[in-house]
Structure 1
Amino acid sequence: MRRYRLDGFAGTSSLRLERCDVPVPGPRQVLVRMRAWSLNHRDLLIAHGRYGRDVLPGLVPLSDGAGEVVRSGAEVTRWRPGDAVVGLFLPGWQSGRPRVDRALGGSVDGVLAEYVVFDEDAVVAPPSHLDFAEAATLPCAALTAWQAVVELGGLHPGQSVLTLGSGGVSVFALQIAAAGGARVIATSGSASKLERLRALGACEVIDHARTPDWGARAAAWSGGGVDHVIEVGGAGTMRQSITAARVGGRISVIGVLGGGPGISPVPLLRKVLCVQGVQVGSAEMFRAMNRALEHHRIRPVIDRVFPFSRAAEAFRHLESGAHIGKVVLTAE
């Protein structure tokens, strides 16, 4: 079989395609023939050595992938050959208190290989209406958006939600929030992307390139501040996100796409804001999200699909920032 490794952290040039034996599952494991994979901004940070955590050379990259079980260990009871499955970003977090010590494609090997062994409880069944390429987009971006918007954000009809940009988490947050009856405001610096975001369900769109004070614009449109901001920019956008939020509102901190200076805690105190970091989600959340996606017939937004052998090209496309939604690889 073929798999990719990162032999260093110099970016896309560090990706190496190699051949190796197909792994053998243990008694409580399943062997999955991977049919599709998707990329996240995290994968770029890791490839460039900017992730800031214990990641070693030789890592098999990517956290997100979907495929079919081809072999089960002797003690496996949940799965049988032919079952479609999606891997968990955090294989140790089944439910309850977060367990974030093991993350695929970071602290442990990821899934950018033609065959991968998973513990039987480290995979879930995908929504029945999705194909493998669509299912592969769910483990990181979709589940992160679900936890932020629904599990922590208490999504309800009429709630106002602000999403930033057109990356995977933001687009999933828009789709999920709109399906739940929320009024979604979306930002982008591209007119064509804003048009697409409106078509996906945004009630209002803001061109942040032309409106530097987009936080105040969002607050005014929502009648005094939005209930919930899905914050993916980090220090570069946090000040505007605080401005956008209502008194007593929530900011879910998910990404660090933009750099910038630190912020004073005073505005947080004055507006009595709840600011919470979000780290993907558990298996229990994943199953709940899949039921909701299936019920509402929500389909992931896939920007481009590349064959497995062109993984480096897929990385470069994601890095260009030209995408809307997800960048996907499929088996050849």
Structure 2
Amino acid sequence: MRVFQIQDDWGIDNLKLADRPVPEPGRGQVLIQMRAASLNARDLIVPERGYGRATGNLPLIPLSDGVGIVVETGEGVSRVAKGDRVCPTYFQNWIGGAPSPAAFASALGGPLDGVMADMVCLSEDGVVRVPDYLTDAEAATLPCAGLTGWSAITTHGRISAGDRVLVQGTGGVAMFALAFAKMQGAHVTVISSSDEKLETVRAMGADATINYRDTPDWARASREVTSDRGGYDLIVELGGAETLPLSLRAIRPGGTIAMIGVLTGLQLDASLGPIVARQVRLQGVTVGHRDGFEAMLRAMTQHGTRPVLGKTFDFADLRQALEYLRAGPGLGKTLIGF
């Protein structure tokens, strides 16, 4: 069967098409014929061994997000059946509750082999059935980006009707966060450097938008939106070093900053005083567990929520897809068709 794997040495130049035997499912395992996959920012980091030893060992099959059909089941499998359409979970060993070292060590696409293979063999505990109304491409976007947005808005943000939420950017996680915040009845502000993208997100339900290139001090510019409570209830923080100081100014006393991305850098130069003085909750968000994934799918089905899709590449064009992602594509998830 076809696989893409990082082989011989780290680096995107060592990401190559290869052939592996079709795996056989053992007890409690399922064999999945993959039908689509989607890319995340981490897929640019993994080939460079950006997570150090936690990235895994070579050869390594990349990508965590995808969807496929169960074509064979091992002895004792009861959660899914042959013919079911399923998504692998990002963390194979995190079913529910608090995270653990073992859970965090079970991420697909590094350190575990990921989904860029014609056939993937996984534990039945590491897959979820997906709703019929979603296309393969839509379902493929859910395991990492979708669940991260859900965890930020519902699990950690605990957003309810009337709350004020600010979402940074228009990437995959950001668009899921917008959809889930609106699902909860929140007022949502989106910031971006593109007027065209801001126009699109307004059509998708964003209540307020700010072009941070034209208005660098978006914390001050958004005060009118949150004047009734002294700041946002939740900020979906995707920027990192450059944006967190502004988020600390824009969050309300007792509010939550869901720390998801570090797109502008890892090293922080900011006063920590506001965190203590305003009792701000700085919450790291690392995707989520299977129970959260299934809760997200129930909510999406109830509301008919559809992911925002971008450009699709052929299986053999994975490297081109990654370069497209690196260049900063437009709205919507970048996809791989099988």
| TM value normalised by structure 2 | 0.95
1:28 maps to what in 2? 28
Alignment of 1:191-230 (within 5 A): 191-223=195-227, 224-230=230-236
Is 1:139 aligned with 2:143?
A: yes
Deviates more, 1:42-51 or 1:28-37: 42-51
2:128 counterpart of 1:124:
yes
- Rounded to whole Å, the distance in 2 between the matches of 1:221 and 1:115 is 49
Aligned residue pairs: how many? Answer: 330
Correspondence 1:181 to 2:185: yes
The share of aligned pairs that are identical, in percent, is 42
**Distance in 1 (alpha carbons) for counterparts of 2:330 and 2:17:** 25
1:1-332 pair list within 5 angstroms: 1-7=1-7, 8-11=9-12, 13-55=13-55, 56-98=57-99, 99-223=103-227, 224-259=230-265, 261-331=268-338
Report the alpha carbon displacement of residue 184 of structure 1 after superposing the two structures with TM. 0.4
Cα distance in 2 for residues equivalent to 1:96 and 1:261: 30
Please give the secondary structure, in 2, of the residue aligned with 1:175.
helix
1-structure distance, mates of 2:18, 2:11 = 18
Q: Which residues of structure 2 form unaligned runs of 5+?
A: none
**Contact kept in structure 2, 1:217 and 1:244, CA below 8 Å:** no
CA distance in 1: counterparts of 2:268 and 2:81, whole angstroms: 52
**Structure 1 residues 279, 261: closer, same or farther in 2, change over 3 A?**
closer
Asked whether the equivalents of residues 230 and 252 of structure 1 are also in contact (C-alpha less than 8 Å), the reply is yes
Question: 2:307 is matched by which residue type in structure 1?
Answer: P
Distance 1:48 1:211 in 2: 34
Question: Counterpart of 2:224 in 1: which secondary structure?
Answer: helix
- CA 243–53 in structure 1, closer or farther in 2 if over 3 Å, else same: farther
Residues 165 and 53 of structure 1: CA distance in aligned 2, closer, same or farther (over 3 Å): farther
Give the whole-Å Cα distance in 1 for the aligned partners of 2:79 and 2:50: 38
Deviation at 1:244, TM superposition (A): 1.3
**Shift of residue 220 of structure 1?**
2.9
Deviations 1:107-130 (A, max 9, x none): 211111110001011000112210
Compute the displacement of 1:20 (Å).
Answer: 1.5
Contact 2:245–2:271 (CA<8 Å) still a contact in 1? no
Most deviating of 201-210 and 265-274: 265-274
Residue 61 of structure 1: how far off its partner (Å): 0.4
Give, in whole Å, the separation in 2 of the partners of 1:134 and 1:237. 30
**Deviation for aligned residue 1:52:** 4.2
Structure 2 residue matching 1:54: 3-state secondary structure: helix
Which ranges of structure 1 fall in alignment gaps of 5 or more residues? none
Cα distance, 1:187 vs. partner? 0.7
Conserved 8 A contact 2:54-2:105: no
Following TM superposition, the consecutive aligned residue runs of length 4 or more in structure 1 with deviations greater than 3 angstroms are none
Shift of 1:74: 1.7
- TM, length-normalised to structure 1: 0.96
The answer (yes or no) to whether the contact 1:187–1:205 under 8 Å persists in 2 is yes
Contact 1:39 1:328 in 2 (8 A): yes
